[in-house]
Structure 1
Amino acid sequence: MEQVERIWFELLGGVRAWRGDEELDLGGSKPRAVLLALLLRAKKVVSQAEIVEAVWGDAATGGAHSLVQTYVMHLRRVLEPGRARRGAGKVLVSSVYGYTLRIEPDQLDLSVFTQRIGVAQKFRAAGDLPAAVDAFDAALSLWHGPILADLSGPLAEVERVRLQELRLAALEERAEVVLGLGHHAAVIAELKALSAQNPYRESLCVLLMIALYRNGRRADALACFADMRRRLIDELAIEPGPNLQRVHHDILNDRDASVSGAAKRLVPRQLPRDVHAFAGRHGELRELDCVITEVGQSPVTAVISALSGTAGIGKTALAVHWAHCIAERFPDGQLYINLRGFDPALQAMNPEDVLRQFLHALGVPAGRIPVHPEAQAALYRSEMADRQMLLVLDNARDSAQVRPLLPGARTCVVVVTSRNHLTGLIAADGARSFPLDLLTVEDARDLLAYRLGRERINAEAQAVEQIITCCARLPLALAIAAARAGTEPHRSLGSLATELQNAGARLDLLATDDPHINVRAVFSWSYRALPPEAARLFRLLSLHPGPEISLPCAASLAARPAVEVSAQMQQLIQANLVAEPTSGRYSFHDLLRAYAGEQTQCVDDELERASATNRMLDHYLHTAFDAAMLLYPARDPICLTTVHPAAVPEVLPGYDDAMAWFSREHKVLMTVLNHAASHDRDTVTAQLAWTLATYLEQRGDRHDYAISQELAAKAADRLGDPALQILTHRLYANALAQLGHFELAHDQLIQCLALSTRSADDVATAKTHDSLAFLNERQGRYGDALAHAEQALSLFNKLGRKEGLAIAYNTVGWLHAMLGEYASALTFCRQSLDLHEELGNRLGQAETWDSIGYAHHQLGNTTQAIECYDRGLHIFRDLGDNYQEANTLSHQGDTHEAAGDLKAARKAWQSALSILEQLDHPDAAELRAKLSASA
C-alpha cells in the first residue's frame, strides 16, 4: 500500500480532522457521521447499507444511498484534494463492496488513547505509580469538548455512551493510582464533580469515600454513602452494591478501605445484541417487569416457554429484549448461554461445561475450577453470592440441565427459555412460568409495520392479513417474510402473499397439529430467491458443527475465494438466513441449520458433501498445526496429509497470532473435535487433539486438555496404530497428571511402555520414561523421577538422538537440583545447553538457562542466577513464549528476594503475574500469594 497522507482524526469530542496545523472542513453533521462510521472501522470495508443504518437507521429514505455517495465524494475532496473521482482515492477508497478509510492507528485519537491507557496500566502493574499517572494524563489529554457534539443517528448515540464509559473508566483508574500514591486530597474535587455528573455510579462514590476518609473527613465519607443509598432507594428501589457497602462498613468501623479491595471485579456483558424492531408482547413484558419488584426478597427464576412447543415463536427474542430493558438494574453484569437443548446438529450443553464458562466469565482462572461438577456448582454459587446479576439461559432442554446453573443469591434474576414448560423447575425450584403463544394478529401486523413501514402495510391490508395467516403468526416466519419484502420494495405484498400460499410442505422439525404453521415454506421461499452460489454456501454451512464459523473456514467449506464467500454471506445475512454475531464470524438459527441440512441432502451428492467436510477439517487441522508449532517450535511434529488445494488455512505470523487464533477458535475446535470423534474420523481426531495440547496446557485449561486427549487416545486405539497410540496415551497421561489423577496417568504410561517395548520403538520408550519422570516430579517423588529421566537419557544417547538427549540432560539436571545436588545439576544442564546451542534450539537453550539459574540460586550465587535468568528471558521474549517468560520471571523474583532486593523481586513477580493473568493460567494464584506475603 502506498504511503497515505498523514491526517490526524479526532472523535473524542467532535468529529474533526487536521492536516498539519490546518483543520479540514468536513461539512455538516451528516458527512461527519459518515466519517465516524468509517473511522470506527478503519482499514475495513464498510458497506453502503451499513453506513445508511449507522447515520439514519429506521429514518432512512430511498435517497439515503445516493446521499452516502455524495458525502463520500465530499470527504474525499477534503481528505485528498485532486482525487475527487469516484474510486480513485488512496485514503478513502471505494470498491464494489463499500468504502475503506486507510489510516494507521496513530492517526486516530481513539486508537492513541487506547494505546496510552495500556501503557498506564502496564506501569501500574509494575508498581511505577508516578509513571502510570503521567500516562493516564497523556491519554486523557486527548479528550476535547462534548462527546460527538452535534451528531445524531443510531451509531452516534451508541458511541456517545460507549466513549463516555471509556473516559469515566480511565478517570476512575487514574484516581485509584493517585490514591495509591497517598495524594488523597488531590482527587476529591474531581471525584465530587464526576459523581455529580454520574449520580448512580457507585464506583465513583467508593473512590470519593476513600479519598475523604484518608483525608481525615470521615463524617463527609459517611454522608457521601448516605446520599448515594438514599438516591438508589428512592429513585431505583435498590440497595447499594457489595463493594460500596463493604467500604461503608470499613469506614464506619474506622478501618482504612483499600482501593484494591474496592476495585471493580470482572463485569461480564454477554447479552446478544437486542432484537431489531422488536414488536408486540406488551402484556408479557409487563408481567416480566413484575418480577423485578421481588429482587432482593428471594431468588427469582422466570421460565419463558411456548404454549405449543413451537420453535421460532420468539422466546429468545423476548428474553433478550427484556434483558436489555432491565440490564442497568444489574451492576455486576449479565451472563448468557445457548444451552442448545433442541439443536438438531449439536449436543445439548452439559451443565458442568456451562459452569466452567460462567466461572471463567466471572474471573475465576481455569486452574481454580474444580474437576467434580458438585464442587464446580458450589464454587459458582459462592462467586454469585454477593452479586447483582442477570442470567439468560436460552434454549434449555429440561429442568435437570438448568438446575445446577441457578445461583442462590437473592439479588440475581434468571431468565430461562425452552420449548418445554420445565414443570420440574416450577414445582421444585419456585420458578415463575411465562408461556408464550403465537403473536396476536395486531402484534404480527405491528412487527411487519416496524420492518416494512406503516404506510406500505396500510396500503395492502388484505395481503398483510394473508401473509400473517400463512406465517401462522410465528415471529421467526414473519421476520423472514418481512426481510424478503423489504429487499423488493416495489413488489406488491399481494404477490408475496400468493407465493407464500403456494409454498411446499412445512418443515418437519416444526410439524404440529396446527395446519397453519408452514415455516419450511417461508424458508424455502427465501432460499429459492438466493443466487445459486449463495444457495450452495447456505447448504454447505449445515455441514459445519458450529457454534460459529469464520470466513476462511467458510471459504474452505465452499472451495471458493474468501472475497466471493464474504459477498455471499452478506446475501445470506440480508435474507435473514445467517447471523453475524461478531464481525467476520457467522452462525445459524437451529431451524435454519436443519433446513439447510435437508437441502444439502437433497441437492448435493455424497461426494460433494464429503469433500466439503474434508476441506473444513483440513482448514482447522492445518491452521491448528501451524499455530501449535508457533507456540512450541521444538516440539516433534506429527505428519499430516497434504492439505486440500481448495482449503484455506489461516496464515499466522507469530506466537501472539497463534494464541489469539486458538483463543478465538477454542470452542469451535472442541466442537469440531467431538464431531470428528463421533463420525469415525479417527485420524483427524487424534491429530487435532495433538495440535490443541500446547495451547490448552499453556492456558491451564486442564478440563478441555483431558477431554481432547481422551478422545484422541480412544481414536488411536480404534485405529490400532501403535505409534499413534503411544503418542496419544502419553499426552492423555500428561493431562490426567495436571488434574491430579496420578494413578490413572501412571496406568496410561505403563500401557505406553508395553506398546513401545512390543514395537521395539526405543524412541517412544525414551519419551515415555521422560513423561514418567514428569509424573513422579509432580508427586514430589524426585528419586523415582530421576531414575526414569536417566533411562530416557541412556536411550537417547544410545540412539544418537541429539534433540532428545539435550532435553534429557536438562531434565536430569533439574531433578538433581530438586534433590539438592546442585553441582551435579549444573554439570548436566551445561551439557544440555551445549547440545541445544549446537542444534540451534533457542527454546531449549532458554529452558536450560532457567534450570542453571535455579541451581546457582540454591548455591547462593544470586548474581550468576539473575544473569542466567536474564539470558533465558531474552530468548523467551524474542520467541514470544509468554508462559515460559512468566515462569522464569517468577524464579528470578525468588532470587532477588533471596538477595535482599524485595523491590526487584516484587517487580519480577508482578510482571509474571500480569502475563499469567492474560493467559488466565492457574499459576497466577501462587504469584498473588507471593506478592501478598511480601507486601
Structure 2
Amino acid sequence: MELGPPQQRSVLALLLAHGGQPVSVASLVDALWGEDHPGSAVNLLHRYVGALRRALEPELGHRETGRWLIRGAGGYRFTADAATLDLLRFRDLMGKARSERDGGAERQAVHTFAEALALWDGPVAANTPAPVRSHTVFTALEREHVAAVNEATDLALRCGLPKPVLVPLQWVTSQHPFDEPSHSRLILALAAAGYRADALDVHATIRGRLAEELGIDPGAELRAAHEAVLREEPDQPQQEVHHETEPLVDAPMPAPSVMPAQLPRDLAVFAGRRDELDHLLAEHDDPHGATAVTLIRGMAGVGKTTLAVRYVHRIAHLYPDGQLYLNLRGFDQTGDVVQPEAAVRRFLDELGVPSARIPVGFDAQVNLYRSVLAERRILVVLDNARDAEQVRPLLPGSPGCHVVVTSRNQLLSLVAVEGARPLLLTPLSNVEAREFLTRRLGSRSAGSDPAAISEIIELCAGLPLALAIVAARAALQPLHPLSAVAQALRDTSTSLDSFSDADSIIDARAAFTWSYQALGPAAADMFRVLSLHPSPEIPTRAAASLMGLPVARAVPLLDELERGHLIAQYAPRRYTMHDLVRVYATELANASDAPEARRAARVRVLDHYLHSSFTAAALIDPHRPRITLPPMSEGAVVEVLHDRAAAQAWTTAVSPTLFAAVEMAGEHHLDDHTWRLAWAFDPYLDRNGHWHQKVIAQEAALAATERAHEVRGRAYVHRSLGYAHKHLGNLVRAAGQFRSALELYVELGDLRGEGRTHQNIADLCTKQNMFQQALEHEVCSYEIARVLGDQLMEADCLNNVGCAHSDLGDHDQAIVLCEQALARSRELGNRPLEAAAQDSLGKIHHRAGRYAVAVGYLGQALETHRDLQDLYNEAVTLRNLAAAHLAVGDKRSAEDCTRLAATVLGQPLPFTLSAASAS
C-alpha cells in the first residue's frame, strides 16, 4: 500500500502509536514540524489525513469520513482494537502472560510472552524522518519493548526455557549496543541454551565497545553474568565447540590515512562583511575550551556560505587535524535533504573508519563519530541546515573542535541548548554593495555611472546572489553602459513569488531574468533542463545527457552558464546550482517546456546513470550475474571507465546522486529504471555497509517491480532486502524477505536464484544458532548447484556445508568437505574461493584442537588474500591466525598478527574469534 510522502506516513505512525486514543492537532503539528512549523501546517495536516483515508479506504473517493481515521476531541484518532493493531495485541498478550505467571503457569507464560514479542518485527516508526522518530511517543514504545523483553527473559531463565526469548534479546541488544542489563540477560540466556561460547563472545564484544567508545568498564550486572558463565562450566553441546579469544592488544583509534581538508574555495573577489567577519573572529573561543558552535543565519542568497567559507579559512590553521564540510541541503526544492543518519555515516567514511568497524544503530554511529573526534582538533562546517535536529548528531562531544552552521531558520534550540553563537546576516549596505560591484566590475566601470550603480543595488536590494549574477552578465557585455543594465533590470523586474517565504522576501527575479535572457538559446535550454537533475551535483556527462547532446557540444553551454554565475563548478567538470537559481530554473522549465520533453530529459539522465553504473559494476565484480538492460535513449551518454579503480572512484563520487536517481525514478514511476538502478547500486551499498540506504532503495525497487509485474527483478529485491535487514538485526523481516524470494524463484523455475536464497537463509539460521536448519539449507543449495552443473557454485556450497558441519561439532566431516572445496577451487582457478576454503579449514582445525595445522592453513589463506589485495579478508585471517598462534603458545606471533590486522584496515576489527568463525 502506498502511504505517501514521509510527513504523511508520520501522521499515520503517530496515530497508531497512540493505540486508538485521540491526538490533538497541536500535538501532531508539534511532532511533525517542531518549533519551526510553517503557517500552513494545520492545512497540510488535514490534507495528509485525507490522503491517508483514501489510501486506507479507496472506496471513499474524496469523502471526508471513513472507518479508520476519525476526527474528534480536537484532533484525530485511529480506531483500532487488538484484532487490527499489533500494538494492542502485544499489550493484551503481555497482560495474559503476566496473569499466567502470577497464577503459577510459568512455563505457559514464557510461550505467551514469546508470542507477544514476535509481533515486533523492526524499529518503531522505521519509515519516518529522524526528527519524528525521536518523538517521545516512539521512544516510550521502544522502552516498553525493551522492558517487555527483559521481563520475559527473567521468567524464561527461571523456568529453564531460554530459547524462546533469544531472538527478541538479540534484536534489543543490536538496537541498544550500550544497554548493559539487556546484554547481561543475553549472556545468561545464551549460556543456558547451551551456547556458552557465544555468551562469552557477547561479553567480549560489549566490553570492548564500552572501553573503546565510552571509556568505561562493564558494570556490576555484566560482570556478574560473565562470572556466572565462567563458574558453571557446563558440558558443551556438540554444536558449540568454539574457541573464543579475547583481543590481544588494544589498538588505538588511528588518524585518517588522508587528513580531511574539505573546505570550499574562498572567493578571491570577497567584498564587504568586515564587521561580521571581525565579530566572528573576536568571538572565536580558545580551541582548548568546550566545542564552540557558530550559527550564521539569514535569508536565501544573502551570502551565508560565502561568509562562512571566508571565516573558516581564516581560522583553519588552528585545527591541524582537518576540516569537514557538508551541504545538508535543508531547503533543497527536490526534498533531497541530507538526513542525520546519512550525514554521520558520511563523516565516518571521510574520517577513514572502515565499513566493518561502523556499528548498525544510529546512536552507536553518533557515539563512534564523537569518539573518533575525541582528542582531535577538527573544524566542521554544516551548510544549509534545516533545523537543530539535523545538526545536533553532528556536533563533536569533546573540546577542541569548532562547528560552523549556516541556515535560513533561527534554530533557536541550537542556541538555547547547545550554546550556539548566532549571527544574523542582512543584505549588503549601499557602501558594501558598491564595493561588491567594484571588485567584480573593476573600479573604472563601477565608477563611470554612480547613479546606475545605485539603481542596480536598489533593484537587487543588496542581495549578494543577485548582485553577483548582474555583475557577471555586465562584465561579459563591457560595451553596454551601466545605465542600460539598470534599465534592463527595471524592465524584467517582477515579483518572484516562489522565493517569498518567512526568510526570503527579496525580489530576485529581475537579476535572474535579465541574466537568463542574455543567454544564447542553447544555453537557456541547458539552464532549464539542469533543474531536472536528481541531485544538486551535476557531472558534465549527466548534463549532456539531460540535453541529449554530445559532451563536446554541452561543455561550451556549461561554460556560458558558469560565466553568468548561474551555475558554479565545485570540482573539475562537476557543477552545482544555488537553491534560488534552481527554483527559478524549475519555474522556467515548467512554464516553457512540454511535459513530454521534461520526461524525455529525465529518462536520458537516468539512462546515463543506469548504463554507467552497470559498466562500473562489471569492472568491480566481473563474476556477478548480469540482468538485461533496455536500450539507451538517443542522446544519453555514459561515463568512460577503463578499469576497476576508475569504476570504484566514479561510484563513490556519485553515490548520493545514484541514490537520488533511484528515488526520482520511483517518484515518476519510471519502473524499469528504478529497480535496475537499485540493482546496479546494490554492491556499493553492501561494500560500505549502508544498510539503511539499501532498504530505502530496494523498497522503491520493490514497488517498481510490483507495478511493472517484473517477477525476476522482484525476487532479487526480496533477497537484497533480506540481506539488508539481516545486517540491521531485523531478523524477522529478513526471514520474511528470504521466504518471498524463495517462493518467487521456485515459481520462476530459477534454480540458481533458489540455491542462492537457500544460502541466505542458511546464513540467517547460523546467525540465530539454528545450526541444523542452516545445514539443511546449505545442502539444498549444494544439490541445486549439482543439478545446474555449476562447478563454481558447487565448490562454494561445499565450503559452506563444511562450515555448517563444523558448527554442529562434526569437524572431521567438515574438513573432508572443505578440502574438496579447496581442491575444486584450485582446479577452477578461482583464487577468492581458494582463500575462503583455506580460511575455513584453518578455523575448523582450530576448533578441533589441531592448532599447528590451523596455523598452516591460515598462513596459506593469508598469502592468497594478500595476492588478491583483499584487505578485509586479510585482516579477518590475521585475527584467526593470531588465535591459532596463541593456542600453540606463540604469544609474540599472536600479538604481531593482531597488531598487523589493526594496521591493514587502519582499525581493530569489531569482533572476536568466535564471531569471525561464524561469519
Asked whether the two chains share a fold, i.e. TM above 0.5, the reply is yes
* 1:276 alignment partner, one of 259, 268, 272: 268
Q: Give yes or no for contact 1:862–1:899 (8 Å, CA) kept in 2.
A: no
* 1:815 alignment partner, one of 795, 804, 822: 804
* 2:629 alignment partner, one of 640, 646, 658: 640
Kindly indicate whether residue 559 of structure 2 is the aligned counterpart of residue 570 of structure 1. Answer: yes
Question: For the structure 1 residues 653 and 826, does the alpha-carbon distance in structure 2 shift closer, same or farther, using more than 3 Å as the test?
Answer: farther
Kindly indicate whether residue 283 of structure 2 is the aligned counterpart of residue 291 of structure 1. Answer: yes
Which residue identity lines up with residue 430 of structure 1 in the other structure? G
Moved more, 478-487 or 606-615: 606-615
Provide Cα deviations, 1:462-496, integer angstroms capped at 9, x if missing partner: 11111111111111111111111222233321211
Which residue identity lines up with residue 460 of structure 1 in the other structure? D
Quote the offset at 1:454 in angstroms.
Answer: 1.8
- Tell me, in whole angstroms, the C-alpha distance in 1 between the residues paired with 2:825 and 2:817: 13
Aligned residue in 2 for 1:421: 410
Question: For the structure 1 residues 615 and 455, does the alpha-carbon distance in structure 2 shift closer, same or farther, using more than 3 Å as the test?
Answer: same
Bigger relative contact order, structure 1 or 2 (CA pairs below 8 A, ≥6 apart) = 2
Quote the offset at 1:579 in angstroms.
Answer: 1.1
Quote the offset at 1:502 in angstroms.
Answer: 0.9
- Tell me, in whole angstroms, the C-alpha distance in 1 between the residues paired with 2:504 and 2:818: 78
Question: For the structure 1 residues 769 and 375, does the alpha-carbon distance in structure 2 shift closer, same or farther, using more than 3 Å as the test?
Answer: same
Aligned residue in 1 for 2:297: 305
Aligned residue in 2 for 1:793: 782
> Please, what TM-score do these two structures have when normalized by structure 1?
0.64
Which residue identity lines up with residue 733 of structure 1 in the other structure? G
Question: For the structure 1 residues 908 and 298, does the alpha-carbon distance in structure 2 shift closer, same or farther, using more than 3 Å as the test?
Answer: closer
Question: For the structure 1 residues 512 and 661, does the alpha-carbon distance in structure 2 shift closer, same or farther, using more than 3 Å as the test?
Answer: closer
> Superposed, which structure 2 residues align to 1:349-360 within 5 Å?
349-360=338-349
Quote the offset at 1:432 in angstroms.
Answer: 3.1
- Tell me, in whole angstroms, the C-alpha distance in 2 between the residues paired with 1:812 and 1:662: 35
Q: Give yes or no for contact 2:357–2:909 (8 Å, CA) kept in 1.
A: no
Aligned residue in 2 for 1:519: 508
Question: For the structure 1 residues 654 and 892, does the alpha-carbon distance in structure 2 shift closer, same or farther, using more than 3 Å as the test?
Answer: farther
| SS at 1:807 equivalent | helix
Which residue identity lines up with residue 265 of structure 2 in the other structure? R
* 2:466 alignment partner, one of 453, 456, 477: 477
Q: Give yes or no for contact 2:774–2:804 (8 Å, CA) kept in 1.
A: yes
Gapped regions of structure 2 (runs ≥ 5): 1-248
Moved more, 820-829 or 386-395: 820-829
Quote the offset at 1:644 in angstroms.
Answer: 2.6
| SS at 2:409 equivalent | coil
- Tell me, in whole angstroms, the C-alpha distance in 2 between the residues paired with 1:558 and 1:503: 27
Aligned residue in 2 for 1:769: 758
Quote the offset at 1:797 in angstroms.
Answer: 2.6
Gapped regions of structure 1 (runs ≥ 5): 1-257, 931-935
Percent sequence identity over matched residues? 39
Quote the offset at 1:449 in angstroms.
Answer: 0.8
- Tell me, in whole angstroms, the C-alpha distance in 2 between the residues paired with 1:832 and 1:928: 23
Kindly indicate whether residue 717 of structure 2 is the aligned counterpart of residue 728 of structure 1. Answer: yes
- Tell me, in whole angstroms, the C-alpha distance in 2 between the residues paired with 1:731 and 1:723: 13
- Tell me, in whole angstroms, the C-alpha distance in 1 between the residues paired with 2:854 and 2:605: 53
Which residue identity lines up with residue 272 of structure 1 in the other structure? P
Question: For the structure 1 residues 895 and 872, does the alpha-carbon distance in structure 2 shift closer, same or farther, using more than 3 Å as the test?
Answer: farther
Quote the offset at 1:297 in angstroms.
Answer: 5.7
Which residue identity lines up with residue 583 of structure 1 in the other structure? P
- Tell me, in whole angstroms, the C-alpha distance in 1 between the residues paired with 2:502 and 2:731: 56
Question: For the structure 1 residues 445 and 731, does the alpha-carbon distance in structure 2 shift closer, same or farther, using more than 3 Å as the test?
Answer: same
Kindly indicate whether residue 484 of structure 2 is the aligned counterpart of residue 501 of structure 1. Answer: no
Quote the offset at 1:301 in angstroms.
Answer: 3.0
Question: For the structure 1 residues 665 and 488, does the alpha-carbon distance in structure 2 shift closer, same or farther, using more than 3 Å as the test?
Answer: same
Quote the offset at 1:447 in angstroms.
Answer: 0.2
- Tell me, in whole angstroms, the C-alpha distance in 2 between the residues paired with 1:637 and 1:690: 10
Question: For the structure 1 residues 664 and 387, does the alpha-carbon distance in structure 2 shift closer, same or farther, using more than 3 Å as the test?
Answer: same
Aligned residue in 2 for 1:555: 544
Question: For the structure 1 residues 514 and 408, does the alpha-carbon distance in structure 2 shift closer, same or farther, using more than 3 Å as the test?
Answer: closer
Quote the offset at 1:381 in angstroms.
Answer: 4.1
Question: For the structure 1 residues 329 and 513, does the alpha-carbon distance in structure 2 shift closer, same or farther, using more than 3 Å as the test?
Answer: closer
Provide Cα deviations, 1:228-264, integer angstroms capped at 9, x if missing partner: xxxxxxxxxxxxxxxxxxxxxxxxxxxxxx9x97975
Q: Give yes or no for contact 1:847–1:872 (8 Å, CA) kept in 2.
A: no
Aligned residue in 2 for 1:711: 700
> Please, what TM-score do these two structures have when normalized by structure 2?
0.65
Q: Give yes or no for contact 1:385–1:408 (8 Å, CA) kept in 2.
A: yes
- Tell me, in whole angstroms, the C-alpha distance in 2 between the residues paired with 1:495 and 1:412: 50
Aligned residue in 2 for 1:345: 334
| SS at 1:394 equivalent | strand
Quote the offset at 1:890 in angstroms.
Answer: 5.8
Q: Give yes or no for contact 1:274–1:320 (8 Å, CA) kept in 2.
A: yes
> Superposed, which structure 2 residues align to 1:159-308 within 5 Å?
267-293=259-285, 299-306=291-298
Which residue identity lines up with residue 745 of structure 1 in the other structure? A
Moved more, 499-508 or 711-720: 711-720
* 1:876 alignment partner, one of 861, 868, 877: 868
Which residue identity lines up with residue 508 of structure 1 in the other structure? D
Aligned residue in 2 for 1:748: 737
Which residue identity lines up with residue 511 of structure 1 in the other structure? S
Q: Give yes or no for contact 2:839–2:858 (8 Å, CA) kept in 1.
A: no
Q: Give yes or no for contact 1:360–1:366 (8 Å, CA) kept in 2.
A: yes
Which residue identity lines up with residue 418 of structure 1 in the other structure? S
Q: Give yes or no for contact 2:300–2:503 (8 Å, CA) kept in 1.
A: no
- Tell me, in whole angstroms, the C-alpha distance in 2 between the residues paired with 1:560 and 1:899: 67
Q: Give yes or no for contact 2:253–2:372 (8 Å, CA) kept in 1.
A: no
* 1:331 alignment partner, one of 285, 307, 320: 320
| SS at 2:611 equivalent | helix
Q: Give yes or no for contact 1:814–1:851 (8 Å, CA) kept in 2.
A: yes
Provide Cα deviations, 1:698-737, integer angstroms capped at 9, x if missing partner: 2333343344334333433444433222211111111222
Aligned residue in 2 for 1:609: 598
| SS at 2:580 equivalent | helix
Which residue identity lines up with residue 723 of structure 1 in the other structure? R
Q: Give yes or no for contact 2:294–2:421 (8 Å, CA) kept in 1.
A: yes
Which residue identity lines up with residue 581 of structure 2 in the other structure? L
Quote the offset at 1:546 in angstroms.
Answer: 1.5
* 2:534 alignment partner, one of 520, 532, 545: 545
Moved more, 411-420 or 369-378: 369-378
Q: Give yes or no for contact 2:566–2:581 (8 Å, CA) kept in 1.
A: yes
| SS at 2:403 equivalent | strand
Aligned residue in 2 for 1:676: 665
Moved more, 827-836 or 687-696: 827-836
Provide Cα deviations, 1:869-897, integer angstroms capped at 9, x if missing partner: 377447735xxx65556555666676677
> Superposed, which structure 2 residues align to 1:62-101 within 5 Å?
none
Provide Cα deviations, 1:500-527, integer angstroms capped at 9, x if missing partner: 1111534333237999943222112222
Quote the offset at 1:837 in angstroms.
Answer: 6.5
- Tell me, in whole angstroms, the C-alpha distance in 1 between the residues paired with 2:722 and 2:346: 24
- Tell me, in whole angstroms, the C-alpha distance in 1 between the residues paired with 2:553 and 2:735: 52
Question: For the structure 1 residues 893 and 658, does the alpha-carbon distance in structure 2 shift closer, same or farther, using more than 3 Å as the test?
Answer: farther
Aligned residue in 2 for 1:490: 479
- Tell me, in whole angstroms, the C-alpha distance in 1 between the residues paired with 2:914 and 2:483: 71
| SS at 2:337 equivalent | coil
* 1:590 alignment partner, one of 571, 579, 584: 579
Which residue identity lines up with residue 278 of structure 1 in the other structure? F
- Tell me, in whole angstroms, the C-alpha distance in 2 between the residues paired with 1:809 and 1:848: 9
| SS at 1:861 equivalent | helix
Which residue identity lines up with residue 438 of structure 1 in the other structure? P
Aligned residue in 1 for 2:517: 528
- Tell me, in whole angstroms, the C-alpha distance in 2 between the residues paired with 1:742 and 1:923: 27
Quote the offset at 1:832 in angstroms.
Answer: 4.3
Aligned residue in 1 for 2:420: 431
Question: For the structure 1 residues 828 and 657, does the alpha-carbon distance in structure 2 shift closer, same or farther, using more than 3 Å as the test?
Answer: farther
- Tell me, in whole angstroms, the C-alpha distance in 2 between the residues paired with 1:669 and 1:395: 22
What is the alpha-carbon root mean square deviation over aligned residues?
Answer: 3.6
Which residue identity lines up with residue 263 of structure 2 in the other structure? L
Question: For the structure 1 residues 514 and 543, does the alpha-carbon distance in structure 2 shift closer, same or farther, using more than 3 Å as the test?
Answer: closer
